[in-house]
Structure 1
Amino acid sequence: MTSPALQQAQAWAQERAAAAGSSFYYAFLFLPPERRAAITAFYAFCREIDDIVDEVREPSVAQAKLAWWRQQVALAFSPGRRADHPALVALQPHIPVYGLQPEPLLAVIDGCELDLQQNRWLDFAALAHYCHLVAGVVGEVAARIFGQTEDGTTAYAHRLGRALQLTNIIRDVGDDALRGRIYLPLEELRRFEVKPRELLTLGQEAEAGFEVRFEALMRFQIERALATYDEAVALLPAADRASQKPGLMMASIYRALLHELARAPRRVLRERVALTPLRKLWLAWKMQALGRW
């Protein structure tokens, strides 16, 4: 029988996932209740960690919060102990069911810590390492919860996590610039002759030809992200394609977002581009029912 504390934690995680308005939420809707509860709790944990970077302005406070979260993860994975935060309270019952380990959760925290330490990325190798921490390992955990049976699915899930994170970075160029952050590799900015100042001022202090240079940079980013989705799908073993449909739903939604961004890349400097909830639901259903983008 589920305890009242666990019921409250599960309800909180569900509300947290729904309130975030994420495309991930639409993929979760098609899962059986037990798996849906597990991935929702894990997603709520990831959102809480991510929000530390976005919402906590004082570095020492953010570091203290991350230290507390490390303690919470340790409690969640300690037999006979219980974490305090509802995200981990909701996740704990699923840990033995899906063979979850603490290392991926700690990696997510490491990624947040890296975010606090730097706001620029020298090259794509540095960005790929960041994506590994905040998205690749997240994909691996999700694949286990979705029902992974083949070892090869781990590589697929990790690459899919990278693709999703690259999409987030492309969509959020303007929002990140307002917070003084640039996730696009500096080496690639130089290649396309886009200056960091031009991004940070959203093109308001740009030199001649900025619009053409910026669009070329963004189309390069979009094409790489789309190729990363193709690489991920190519790595997915056929035996796990059915169980991994939630991840493929997310890929379908995010690929559609990339195509939307490709129509007018400069929009990211003016607004947060998003698909409508109805379109997200349609794309998720199409993958669930028809197995295609």
Structure 2
Amino acid sequence: MSLSEHALLGAPHEYLTPMERPTLEEAQAWCRKLATSHYENFHVATWFLPRKVRPHFESIYAYCRVADDLGDEVEDPAIATRLLDAWGSMLDECYDTPQRSMHPVFVALHETVRECGVPRELFADLLHAFRMDQVKTEYETWHELLEYSRYSANPVGRLVLWVCGYQEESLALLSDKVCTALQLANFWQDVTEDADRGRRYIPAEAMAHFGVEDGQIEGRVFTPEFAAMIESLVVGTRAMLRDGGVISSHVDKELAVTLDLFRKGGDAILDGITAENFDVLRGRPVVSKVKKLSLLAGALIAKMRAGLTT
């Protein structure tokens, strides 16, 4: 049996490699189903993109979704690392000997690679972040957190740009700011959920600066010092979103609608944290359905005003 037939033994059953190679149409349908069933917001956001690039985004999402689950849904870090290494080998197979790829993700992803010329490093960087999660559960400095985001978040934005035909490094750097900010916003939103998984993304240096201790997160002890720390993190993250958001003025109107939607989604998360007076310890601040509908309606209006169609 080939590597791709055995590589994911021990993975969640829905991700096991089939014994027969799927057709491209079957592989793309598999990725589409995964994207629409696991993350509705992704499906909605991609609706604003040109129809011709949607299959590429679905294959990219499927690659990320499976890799993320291999890292997060398998309790034993050693087994998770083995599965992630196998996924990386299958990525190499997709680039080097694509005719051997058996998993639907890589059958579909090869078409994206072939049509768009996507660099392997962008996919490999994402996998590096998932491997990091197996060995590093706390962050000491802001620099460490930004370095993690370089692998966990920034490649996604660069993939979006690349598939849409934008390869300029100047645009990629703006995208990096937006993607890092979105990653950080999720960290500030998910403080308690991450703590339950034994992870802390708030840098220790920020906690020390504001006089916050680890025990406060574990014990859900909210103090004025903790509020001041989260407020500072939110303010810095919002500035990063704003600085990177100018990218929308440098791309076509159709892509700009989608980029604006993601950026505004990040702002909405930060607004939700602010509305809770920065108390992220009593529960996960959420973006209301009304706010989500408002964002989608705004994006739809922008699309119509630009004369864009699906």
TM-score (structure 2 length as normaliser): 0.83
Change (3 A) 1:261 1:162: same
Q: Find the residue that maps to 1:268 and give its secondary structure.
A: coil
Q: Retained in 1: the 8 A contact 2:74–2:80?
A: yes
User: Percent identity at matched positions?
Assistant: 26
Partner residue of 1:16 out of 34, 37, 44:
34
CA contact (8 A) 1:250 1:284 kept: no
Q: 1:175-229 CA deviation, whole Å, 9 max, x = no partner?
A: 00111110010100111111112112333xxxxxx42122111111111111111
The aligned runs of 1:1-293 (5 Å cut-off) are 5-21=23-39, 23-148=41-166, 150-203=168-221, 210-235=222-247, 238-240=250-252, 242-265=254-277, 268-276=280-288, 279-290=291-302
- Check 1:116–1:10 CA distance in 2 against 1; reply closer, same or farther (3 A cut): same
Give the Å deviation of 1:282: 3.5
CA distance, structure 1, for counterparts of residue 166 and residue 57 of structure 2: 13
Q: Secondary structure at the match of 2:198?
A: coil
Distance 1:178 1:101, change over 3 A: same
When residues 56 and 189 of structure 1 are mapped into structure 2, their CA distance, relative to the original with a 3 A threshold, is same
Alpha-carbon distance in 1 for matches of 2:277, 2:192 = 11
Letter of the structure 2 residue corresponding to residue 184 of structure 1: I
> Residue type of the partner of 1:251?
R
Work out the number of aligned pairs and report it: 284
How far did 1:272 drift? 3.1
- Contact kept? 2:140, 2:205, Cα under 8 Å: yes
Aligned equivalents of 2:93 and 2:28: distance in 1?
Answer: 18
For the 8 Å contact 1:148–1:243, the answer to whether it is kept is: no
Cα deviation 1:242-265 (Å, max 9, x = unaligned): 434322211111211211111115
Following superposition, the deviation at residue 288 of structure 1 comes to 4.9
Question: What letter matches 1:227 in structure 2?
Answer: A
Give distance in 2, aligned partners of 1:51 and 1:282.
31
The 8 Å contact of residues 186 and 269 in structure 2, kept in 1 or not, is answered as: no
Deviation track 1:8-61 (CA, whole Å, cap 9, x = no partner) reads 322222222223335333211112222111112101211222223321111110
The 3-state SS of whatever aligns with 1:243 is helix
> How far apart are residue 150 of structure 1 and its match?
4.4
1:137 Cα deviation after fit: 1.4
Q: CA deviation at 1:160?
A: 1.4
- Whichever residue aligns with residue 63 of structure 1, its letter is T
Between 96-105 and 141-150, report the one with greater CA deviation: 141-150
CA contact (8 A) 1:252 1:287 kept: no
Cα deviation per residue 1:127-158 (whole Å; 9 max; x = unaligned)?
00000001011210111123426442211222
> What is the aligned-residue RMSD (CA, Å)?
2.4
* 1:201/1:88 CA distance change after superposition, 3 Å: farther
